[in-house]
Chains A and B, each alone.
Chain A
Amino acid sequence: MQVVVLVKQVADTAARIKLADGKQDIDRQSASLIVNPYDEMAIEEALRIKEKHGATVWAVTLGEAKAEEALRTALAMGVDEAARVSAPASDALTVARALAQAVREISADIVIAGRSAADDEQGQVGTLVATLLDWPHVTEVTKLEISGSEGVAEREVEGGVEILDFSLPVVVTTQEGLNTPRYASLPGIMKAKRKEIRQIALGEDVVGQPVLAVRSLELPPPRGQGRILTDLDPAQAAKEIVRILHEEAKLI
């Protein structure tokens, strides 16, 4: 069984970011970059499938050479193989076309992706890959069980849990609650360094033309100073907070 995890390198959500010249991307040179947290869950889930059923787990990313850092992290966590796709892809559709092609080349049985990337939060790639492959897919799973060529996934819906059966091949995307990703192990880090990363170069003939372009990005306005109310008893404080929310912030 081949399990492919789609991994994206994103700016650390805990760190401050700058915009690149032209404001169409963040400045990736100065940013501290991490594996997208939902993709870490995808890696963890793939490793659990491997530990239970035996499988070869692939981490696949699309990006510049720097994105190989994300693959090394995946390898250090225990992934068996890694591939970097380079392609003239920019929007979700072209990225998905490139990744779908990589999935075909690896002959995957299961593809696991994060529900969305912490940077652009579009949440399209997993679904688009499934659509392009014409595979069943389950989004935002909180529980996943594979047995033979079938599987069961759970997802949270308004007021309950939805339980879905599917047959392989399948694409699933991860949601909080699915698992807690393991740490990369230190022996894993050393081994990851020696591992060769497969290069998959794709051209415009595969990825086609983008249908979306980023015109410009803006950083959110800096958060204003917090205010601390002092010398009020709880009842007065509550009254004052309501007054501020109503009259000053105009939120209620």
Chain B
Amino acid sequence: MDFTLAEEDRMVQETVRDFAERELGPGAAARDRDGTFDLDVYRKMAELGLLGLPIAEEWGGAGGTYLQYAIAVEEISRVCASTGLSYAAHVSLGLGSLSLLGSDVQKGTYLAPGARGQYLVAFGLTEAGAGSDAGGTRTRAAKVEGGWLLSGSKAFITNAKSAGVSVITAVTDPGKGARGITAFLVPKDTEGFYPSTSYDKMGMRASETAEIELRDAYVPDEAMLGGRGEGFRGFLEVLDGGRISIGALGVGIAQAALEASLAYAQTREQFGQKIGQFEAIQFKLADMAMEVEMARLLVHKAAWLKDQHQPFGQVAAMAKLFASEAAMRAATQAIQIHGGNGYIREYPVERYLRDAKLLEIGEGTSEIQRLVIARGLGLGR
């Protein structure tokens, strides 16, 4: 066993950290305040080759590993978690489903431009009535001459308005339950494809989240992604990969909370001494540091397993669950350590808390992660 990062892993880490601090850091608070989704941010990330980091070179990617991608998500999220979320949705959900399920033609048409960063890719699974229970999908795909007509609506879809292409699940075979669900590629300019304005969110405010209305949106037969009736199974696998990146997001936020708290504890004085001299504060920081380390180890292990083509779903669920809850604890304690200042927008820690909360909900709630882990233990269905 070897826990040291390879030289190129460290180069990815340093490059992305440097980029994030210089290019994403300065505007992060303002983007959060105004709820601005700034496409310029993603253009800069594309120049760096970030948008296709773990995608093979032959499909326009950088040919990096999933571990390197997890490291990149952490570094971006340490500075701007909203950007980390849109980035992760693009790479692990959007590009992830294209690389897992796409034909060579589909990869050439959509994966390569997405990996080069010509556009973002969205992934539309959730519906108002089908969240944790994604098998309850209601959006319909009706067979017509040469293609399909999609109708229904999707809720809470990251990057929905800006994406060049969206992966959309719909029921092709009602009565077959989850086996009746199929995925389709829907380009942005498709007639009948209407993303709504972005939600006004508690956190992750600089990430775009919108509803999608589908009104008899026509897509040709070639738009089917993966086999008929394989949409649900495929998505479960894609979501396993996505959970690693949500874990990495949690590590990034927790790390930022730790750094801000440590700096504050070493400068703020009360009762004639730095508050970092109080054991009560030291213990909080010690717990935060330990949890960041644990969360990072789990995320790296899950990514490593995926890179080794070994089963990783179970560890990915643990990584996602632990890291998102660790991020919540770290952000809460960071506010506590900052006292009144922690509650004020001028300091970044209240943003960390608002951003971290999403991690316990998106890509499978904490409850669902526990279900997944329990099933892995042989419990339940």
Contact = CB atoms under 8 A, between A and B. Distances in A.
B57 to A, nearest CB: 7
Contacts of A184: 11, 15
A72 B48 CA distance: 16
A185 B48 contact: yes
B49 A187 contact: yes
Counting chain A residues whose Cβ lies within 8 A of the other chain, the interface size class is: 10 to 19
A190 interface: yes
A192 interface: yes
Interface in B49-63: 49-50, 53, 57, 61-63
B12 A189 contact: yes
Nearest to A32: B14
Contacts of B8: 72, 189-190, 192-193
A104 to B, nearest CB: 30
Given A69-B7, A72-B7, A193-B8, A186 B15 contact: yes
Most buried by A among B15, B18, B68: B15
A129 interface: no
B19 interface: yes
A166 interface: no
B211 to A, nearest CB: 33
A30 to B, nearest CB: 14
A242 to B, nearest CB: 27
Nearest to B23: A183
A187 B18 CA distance: 17
Nearest to B10: A69
A35 B7 CA distance: 14
Size category of the binding interface on chain B: 10 to 19
Contacts of B19: 183
Contacts of B15: 76, 183-184, 186, 189
B7 A186 contact: no
A188 B7 contact: no
A32 to B, nearest CB: 9
B64 interface: yes
B14 to A, nearest CB: 8
Interface string B62-73: 111000100010
Interface string B5-32: 0011001100100110000000000000
Interface string A138-164: 000000000000000000000000000
Contacts of B72: 186
Contacts of A189: 8, 11-12, 15, 62, 64
Which of A186, A187, A192 gathers the greatest number of chain B CB atoms within 10 Å? A186
A187 B48 CA distance: 8
Contacts of A73: 11
A44 B7 CA distance: 22
A183 B48 contact: yes
A189 B50 CA distance: 11
Interface string A185-204: 11111101100000000000
A72 B68 CA distance: 17
A186 B12 contact: yes
Interface in A39-79: 69, 72-73, 76
A193 B65 CA distance: 13
Given A72-B7, A72-B11, A76-B11, A186 B57 contact: no
A184 B53 CA distance: 13
Interface in A167-194: 183-190, 192-193
Contacts of B50: 186
B200 to A, nearest CB: 34
A69 to B, nearest CB: 6
Contacts of A188: 49
A170 B63 CA distance: 38
A184 B17 CA distance: 12
Nearest to A182: B47
Contacts of B47: 185
Contacts of A186: 12, 15, 48-50, 53, 62, 64, 68, 72
A187 B11 contact: no
A73 B13 CA distance: 12
Contacts of A193: 7-8
Interface centre among B8, B53, B57, B72 (most CB of A within 10 A): B8
A76 B7 CA distance: 12
Nearest to A68: B7
A229 B254 CA distance: 35
A189 B18 CA distance: 15
Nearest to B49: A186
Interface of B: 7-8, 11-12, 15, 18-19, 47-50, 53, 57, 61-64, 68, 72
Interface of A: 69, 72-73, 76, 183-190, 192-193
Give the top 5 A-B pairs by smallest Cβ distance, nearest first. Answer: A186-B49, A186-B62, A187-B62, A187-B49, A185-B49
Given A72-B7, A183-B15, A186-B53, 15 more contacts: A69-B7, A72-B8, A72-B11, A76-B11, A183-B18, A183-B19, A184-B11, A187-B57, A187-B61, A187-B63, A189-B62, A189-B64, A190-B64, A192-B8, A193-B8
23 contacts: A72-B7, A72-B8, A183-B15, A183-B18, A184-B11, A185-B47, A185-B48, A185-B49, A186-B12, A186-B48, A186-B53, A186-B62, A186-B68, A186-B72, A187-B63, A189-B12, A189-B62, A189-B64, A190-B8, A190-B62, A190-B64, A192-B8, A193-B7
